[in-house]
Amino acid sequence: MSDVKSKIRQFLTKYIEHNNFNDDDHLFEKGYVSSLLAMEMVVFVEAEFSIQVGNEDLNLDNFKSVDAIAGLIIKKTDN
């Protein structure tokens, strides 16, 4: 889990100039990332963790924070 989260943070820090955000911070509501990053997030999650994000996963709740993204990845890799 911590390995997954650190990869996610590494990806996000390319877009968020400061690195002081918490794993449960709502990235969109806090204005850290624009919605334009959404596609890049999907591409990153799929390529980095070899999973396929499906129609049912394409939900803000799955991408709103480091915790949420990690949760989605764990769920998809367990399946």
39 binds other proteins (CB under 8 A): yes
Q: Which stretch binds other proteins (CB under 8 A): 2-10, 19-27, 60-68, 70-78?
A: 60-68
Q: Does residue 49 belong to the site contacting other proteins (CB under 8 A)? A: no
Exposed / middle / buried, residue 8 (Cβ in 10 Å: 0-12, 13-18, 19+): buried
CA distance 3 to 36: 26
Which residues of the shown chain bind other proteins in the complex (CB under 8 A)?
Answer: 14-15, 35-36, 38-40, 42-44, 46-48, 53, 55-56, 58-60, 62-63
